[in-house]
Structure 1
Amino acid sequence: MTKSIVCLQPLTAEQQERIQAAAPGYTFTQGDGKNPDLQMLADAEIVIGWAKGIADTLLRPDSPLRWVQSWSAGIEKLPLERFKEREILLTSGSGVHAEPISAVIFGFMLLFTRNLHTAVRNQMNRYWNSDGSESELFGKTAVIVGTGAIGSETARIAKAFRMKTIGVSRSGKPLANFDQVYTTDHLPEAVSQGDFIINILPITDETKQLFNTAIFSAFKQGSYYINVGRGATTDTEALIHALNRGQLRGAGLDVFETEPLPQNHPLWTMEQVVITPHSAGITDQYANRIVNIFTENINSYLSSGTPSLNLVDYARQY
Structure 2
Amino acid sequence: MTKSIVCMQHLSSGQQELIRAAAPGYTLTLGDSRNPDLELLSGAEIIIGWGKGVSDTLLRQDSPLRWVQAWSAGVEKLPLEAMKERGILLTNASGVHAEPITAVIFSFMLMFTRNMHTAIRNQQNRRWHSDGQESELTGKTAVIAGTGSIGSETARIAKAFRMKTIGVSRSGRAAQGFDKVFTTGQLKDSVSEADFIINTLPITDETQGLFDADIFSAAKQGAYYINIGRGATTNTDDLISALNSGQLAGAGLDVFETEPLPEDHPLWGMEQVIMTPHCAGATDRYADRIVDIFTRNMKAYLESGSPSLNLVDYSRQY
**Normalising by structure 1, what TM-score?**
1.00
Hey, what's the Cα distance between the residues in 1 that align with 2:35 and 2:316? Answer: 32
Instruction: Give secondary structure in 1 for the equivalent of 2:165.
Output: strand
Hey, what's the Cα distance between the residues in 1 that align with 2:61 and 2:2? Answer: 19
Name the counterpart of 1:196.
196
Name the counterpart of 1:158.
158
Paired letter, 1:180: K
Map 1:63-102 to 2 at 5 A: 63-102=63-102
Map 1:59-208 to 2 at 5 A: 59-208=59-208
Residue by residue, what CA displacement relative to the aligned partner does 1:225-248 show, whole Å, maximum 9, x if unpaired? 000000000000000000000000
Hey, what's the Cα distance between the residues in 1 that align with 2:177 and 2:82? Answer: 39
Instruction: Give secondary structure in 2 for the equivalent of 1:17.
Output: helix
Name the counterpart of 1:303.
303
Aligned length: 318
Hey, what's the Cα distance between the residues in 2 that align with 1:267 and 1:54? Answer: 36
Hey, what's the Cα distance between the residues in 1 that align with 2:238 and 2:36? Answer: 41
Paired letter, 1:261: L
Hey, what's the Cα distance between the residues in 2 that align with 1:98 and 1:176? Answer: 15
Name the counterpart of 2:26.
26
Q: Tell me the percent identity.
A: 73
Name the counterpart of 2:250.
250
Hey, what's the Cα distance between the residues in 2 that align with 1:2 and 1:252? Answer: 49
Instruction: Give secondary structure in 2 for the equivalent of 1:301.
Output: helix
**Normalising by structure 2, what TM-score?**
1.00
Listed as ranges, the gaps of 5+ residues in structure 2 are: none
CA deviation after TM superposition for structure 1 residue 175, in Å: 1.2
Give RMSD over aligned pairs. Answer: 0.5
Instruction: Give secondary structure in 2 for the equivalent of 1:6.
Output: strand
Hey, what's the Cα distance between the residues in 2 that align with 1:175 and 1:54? Answer: 39
1:225 aligns with 2:225: yes
Instruction: Give secondary structure in 2 for the equivalent of 1:284.
Output: coil
Hey, what's the Cα distance between the residues in 2 that align with 1:258 and 1:57? Answer: 29
Instruction: Give secondary structure in 1 for the equivalent of 2:251.
Output: strand
Hey, what's the Cα distance between the residues in 2 that align with 1:249 and 1:39? Answer: 54
Paired letter, 1:86: R
CA deviation after TM superposition for structure 1 residue 31, in Å: 1.1
Out of 28-37 and 244-253, give the one that drifted further: 28-37
CA deviation after TM superposition for structure 1 residue 18, in Å: 0.3
Name the counterpart of 2:55.
55
Hey, what's the Cα distance between the residues in 2 that align with 1:256 and 1:33? Answer: 23
Map 1:259-298 to 2 at 5 A: 259-298=259-298
Paired letter, 1:279: C
Hey, what's the Cα distance between the residues in 1 that align with 2:52 and 2:36? Answer: 9
Hey, what's the Cα distance between the residues in 2 that align with 1:268 and 1:298? Answer: 44
Give runs of ≥4 in structure 1 deviating > 2 Å.
none
Paired letter, 1:276: T
CA deviation after TM superposition for structure 1 residue 30, in Å: 1.1
CA deviation after TM superposition for structure 1 residue 33, in Å: 1.2
Listed as ranges, the gaps of 5+ residues in structure 1 are: none
Paired letter, 1:227: N
